[in-house]
Chains A and B, each alone.
Chain A
Amino acid sequence: MSAEAHNEHAAKTLSDHHHDDHHHGDDHDHGSFKTYMIGFLLSVVLTAIPFWLVMSEALAPQTTGLIITAFAVVQIVVHMVFFLHMNHKSEGGWNMLALIFTIVIVVIAVAGSVWVMYHLNTNMMPTHEMQSMG
């Protein structure tokens, strides 16, 4: 193989490589008009129902609380999928891995704080007992 042919070949391989890289760099999912509209309409419904439930006081507070929590979780997933275009393949799965790790930390920190502080509050001596001791 002549030097010229070799260079040509190398240039071709290099350009192929760059082409691949370019493709890799631009394979982000931008969604489509349809997916954005689906996400938007779902979000409107998932926002309107909790507001209506609380403003109309249609159900008992505990039931309303559970329902609006469920709606919030579903709406966060809807936003993640339709607006943030999350899927298990984006960035070779690293996005999803980072997200799962974050969710684990968030759940431990928030649930742990609430749990510990709730018990701390209930174990405190009530103010009126404290006054009667003095």
Chain B
Amino acid sequence: MSHAASLNPDYVDEAGRPIYHPVEEPHHPEGHSTMLGFWMYLMSDCLIFAMLFAVYAVIGGNYAAGPAPKDLFDLPLVALNTSMLLMSSITYGFAMLAMVKNRTAQMQTWLAITGLFGLCFLGIELYEFAHMIHLGATPQRSGFLSAFFVLVGTHGLHVTFGIIWLVTLMIQVWQKGLIPANKRRLMCLSLFWHFLDVIWIGVFTFVYLFGMLR
């Protein structure tokens, strides 16, 4: 018995003898692999963005006698947009710190602020897109504009779904409280949200800032 006590109970039969080939899968607590799985998803998402960056790098210089980045980009506006996303990242961090301490109301407040920063980011981005389209710089105008709208638009779409997810989780926490499942979901969204900020670093550096250098 003393020997068996040191063994994992999933791998010991009733008599205390070790089992080398368990008949059933060992018991795992619910959601124990969720964070790793979600990380794998983020890595595959990272590959999508890498391909879009590669497309932009290849055809981003083909203006087809149309407008160039210098004619279209407004750096102060991009800086404002960048600060919105960075602020939303730190407020989501504060929400996670409140979650660890089980302060539900405080966490919900920080999540709401995060969502508002996210909405500001989207609003500014949509204003920029509308302004460009108004000037005739539509996605079908040149290779540069096609690649630009697909890359930046895909990022904006991710932020949009992040906000929908955020609101969904706020409602779930409001209804069911900070149960382990909700904590796990909030941790996944935390990874997703910070990941989008990482992608934005690439966008503002290689699309906007390099665009102004050309």
Please state if B194 and A83 are interface contacts (CB–CB under 8 Å).
Answer: yes
Of the listed stretches B26-34, B131-139, B159-167, name the one at the interface; the rest are far from the partner chain. B26-34
**Contacts A17-B8, A98-B40 given; does A79 touch B201 at CB 8 Å:** yes
Report A4 CB to chain B, min CB distance, Å.
14
Query: B58 and A72: CB pair below 8 A?
Result: no
Nearest chain B residue, comparing its CB with the CB of A95: B39
- Given B39, B55, B93, B213, which contacts A31 in the complex, CB threshold below 8 Å? B93
Please give me the residue from chain B that is nearest to A83 by CB atom.
B194
The 8 Å CB contact of B57, one of A17, A21, A51, A114, is A114
Kindly state whether residue B5 has any CB partner on chain A within 8 Å: yes
CB-CB under 8 A from A13, the residues of chain B are 5, 9
Total cross-chain contacts (CB, 8 A): 134
Task: Find out whether the CB atom of A98 lies under 8 angstroms from the CB atom of B43.
Answer: yes
Docked complex Cα distance between A22 and B43 (Å): 26
B interface SS class: helix
B210: nearest residue on chain A (CB-CB)?
A: A65
Whether the pair A105, B198 counts as a contact (CB closer than 8 A) is no
Q: Which of B79, B201, B210 contacts A76 (CB 8 A)?
A: B201
The minimal Cβ–Cβ distance linking A8 to chain B, given in whole angstroms, is 12
- Measured in the bound complex, the distance between the Cα atoms of B43 and A100 in whole Å is 10
Which of B39, B46, B50, B86 is A43 in contact with, Cβ under 8 Å?
Answer: B86
What residues of A have a CB within 8 angstroms of the CB of B75 in the complex? 51, 54-55
Known pairs A36-B93, A55-B212. 6 more at Cβ < 8 A?
Answer: A47-B82, A51-B79, A55-B75, A79-B89, A102-B47, A110-B50
- Residues of B with Cβ closer than 8 Å to A? 1, 5, 8-10, 28-29, 31-32, 35-36, 39-40, 43, 46-47, 50-51, 53-55, 57-58, 75-76, 78-79, 82-83, 86, 89-90, 93-94, 96-97, 99-100, 187, 191, 194-195, 197-198, 201-202, 204-206, 209-210, 212-214
**Residues in chain A within 8 A of chain B (CB atoms):** 1, 6, 9-10, 13-14, 17-18, 21-22, 24-25, 28, 30-33, 36-37, 39-40, 43-44, 47, 50-51, 54-55, 61, 64-65, 68-69, 71-72, 75-76, 79-80, 83-84, 91, 94-95, 98-99, 101-102, 105-106, 109-110, 113-114, 117
